[in-house]
């Protein structure tokens, strides 16, 4: 049987497994998803990936000053189809958004939006955010971290797959500079409680809320988080959306 040809040969787009055998397998907080890519998304990837995209291979350190032309940089882990990311980039063009996901259609859609609206402050990383944080970012190189609606892994036996854990916060504390804003959001109440617990207990982070609780969704200023389609679906199901705003000490 002949091998199925690569979707993006010769480095023209995101690879299926960018870290390959370079890093040992571990418990992942995500499931790689290469679902159907539309012609428009594929065309956007082919046009823009060499300029605005990169594979997270863990083999080199990123020069964020060069990538973002000296802008302060916020890392966004998981961006879905990218609509909210594009809006945040448009609303704050002086901040660079390093957007990481494993969903190829979402990568293509975000790059399409960036190209259509001239959003030169977005770069898209393909692969594992943990490898990016631990291997490819310099200490104190990030001005913020955004984790919006990560997979809640609701079954008890899968809780170890949740991204916001003490071990992840240990890693993230290194590239986050003092004062960097950590903004998380979820519509899964048990995960929200876990996020609040682990962030509050970690010595590298402090809650921006004087009462030590959840924050209202910021809709203005540099921390503004536009509502997302996924968020709307959760609200329609009766879920309560929780935002958490912490700072790197």
What would the DSSP string read from start to end of the chain? Answer: -PPPPPSSGGGSS--S-TTTTSS-----SS--B--PPPHHHHHHHHHHHHHHEEE--SSS---HHHHTTT--EEEEE--TTSHHHHHHHHH-TTSEEEEEESBHHHHHHHHHHHHHTT-TTEEEEES-HHHIIIIIS-TT-EEEEEEES-----SGGGGGG-S-SHHHHHHHHTTEEEEEEEEEEES-HHHHHHHHHHHHH-TTEEESSTTSS-BPPP-SSTT-----HHHHHHHHTTPPPEEEEEEE-
92, 94, 101, 151: which one is catalytic? Answer: 151
Reported confidence tier of residue 216, pLDDT bands at 50, 70, 90: very high
Total structural domains in the chain?
1
Specify if 108 maps to a domain. Answer: yes
Specify if 14 maps to a domain. Answer: no
Identify whether 151 is a catalytic site residue. yes
Reported confidence tier of residue 231, pLDDT bands at 50, 70, 90: confident
Specify if 159 maps to a domain. Answer: yes
**What is the mean predicted confidence (pLDDT) over 174-190?**
97
Tens of pLDDT, residues 76-117 = 999 999 999 999 999 999 999 999 999 999 999 999 999 999
Query: pTM of the entire structure?
Result: 0.91
Tens of pLDDT, residues 11-34 = 678 887 787 656 665 555 555 555
pLDDT given at position 180: 98
Specify if 204 maps to a domain. Answer: yes
Note down the domain range covering 47: 42-248
Specify if 25 maps to a domain. Answer: no
pLDDT given at position 226: 94
Largest CA distance in the chain: 63
């Amino acid at each position: 049987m002949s091998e199925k040809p690569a979707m993006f040969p010769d480095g023209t787009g995101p690879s299926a497994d960018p870290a390959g055998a370079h890093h040992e397998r571990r418990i992942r907080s995500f499931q790689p998803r290469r679902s159907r890519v539309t012609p428009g998304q594929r065309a956007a990837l082919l046009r823009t990936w060499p300029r605005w995209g990169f594979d997270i291979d863990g083999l080199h350190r990123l020069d964020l000053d060069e990538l973002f032309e000296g802008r302060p940089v916020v890392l966004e882990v998981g961006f879905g189809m990218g609509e909210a990311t594009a809006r945040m980039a448009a609303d704050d063009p002086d901040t660079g958004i390093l957007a990481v996901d494993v969903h190829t259609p979402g990568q293509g859609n975000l790059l399409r939006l960036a190209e259509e609206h001239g959003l030169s402050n977005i770069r898209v990383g393909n692969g594992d955010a943990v490898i990016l944080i631990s291997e490819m970012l310099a200490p104190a190189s990030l001005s913020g971290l955004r984790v919006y609606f990560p997979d809640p892994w609701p079954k008890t036996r899968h809780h170890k797959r949740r991204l916001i854990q003490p071990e992840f916060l240990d890693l993230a504390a290194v590239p986050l500079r003092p004062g960097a804003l950590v903004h998380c959001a979820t519509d899964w109440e048990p995960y929200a409680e876990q996020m609040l617990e682990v962030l509050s207990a970690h010595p590298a982070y402090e809650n921006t809320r004087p009462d030590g609780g959840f924050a209202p969704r910021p809709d203005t200023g540099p921390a503004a988080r536009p509502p997302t389609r996924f968020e709307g679906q959760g609200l329609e199901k009766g879920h309560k959306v929780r935002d958490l705003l912490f700072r790197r000490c």
